[in-house]
Structure 1
Amino acid sequence: MDRLIVYPANEEQMLALQAVLETMKIPFEQKEAAHPGHVIDGLIKSSKEVEEGKSEPYTGIRDMLDPK
């Protein structure tokens, strides 16, 4: 059987989904997201920048703090 993965945007949506699933006697498990949404968004943005050749190699913290 196929599975669904849903991403409720807020607590209200989460509670509504849980109520529907419980009413329909559909088993479910709740897991905490591995990473917050803003972290995932940053990773996606960074990956796109790499694909577009807009990235620079990391050479060390000193170069980042004292650019030439």
Structure 2
Amino acid sequence: MESLLIHPESAEQLRTVKAVLKALKVQFEPQATKLPFHVLKGIDKSLQQFAAGNSISMEEFSEKHRK
């Protein structure tokens, strides 16, 4: 038998898929998605920059990078 990997786009979709699988008595194994260390490090760095006031608006970004 084959397996399926499902990518719900919201918590509501995830709950619905789980409910359907349970109703059909289909076995499934929830697995948390883990981000790679370098991604977590980049997110942390960005949050620190934002907290320090190092941010620009979307309009400023567009003007700066669309030239």
- Normalised TM-score (structure 2): 0.51
Q: CA RMSD in A?
A: 1.6
Structure holding more helix per residue: 2
Matches within 5 A, 1:4-23: 4-23=4-23
- The Cα of 1:18 is off from its aligned counterpart by 0.3
Deviations 1:7-46 (A, max 9, x none): 101100000000000000000010111228xx5xxxxxxx
Number of residue-to-residue matches in the alignment: 37
Unaligned runs of 5+ in 2: 40-67
Residue 19 of structure 1 aligns to which amino acid in structure 2?
A
Identity %: 35
Matches within 5 A, 1:32-47: 32-35=32-35, 39=39
- CA–CA distance in structure 2, aligned partners of residues 21 and 7 of structure 1: 14
Unaligned runs of 5+ in 1: 40-68
- CA–CA distance in structure 2, aligned partners of residues 7 and 35 of structure 1: 15
Runs of at least 4 residues of structure 1 off by over 2 A?
Answer: none
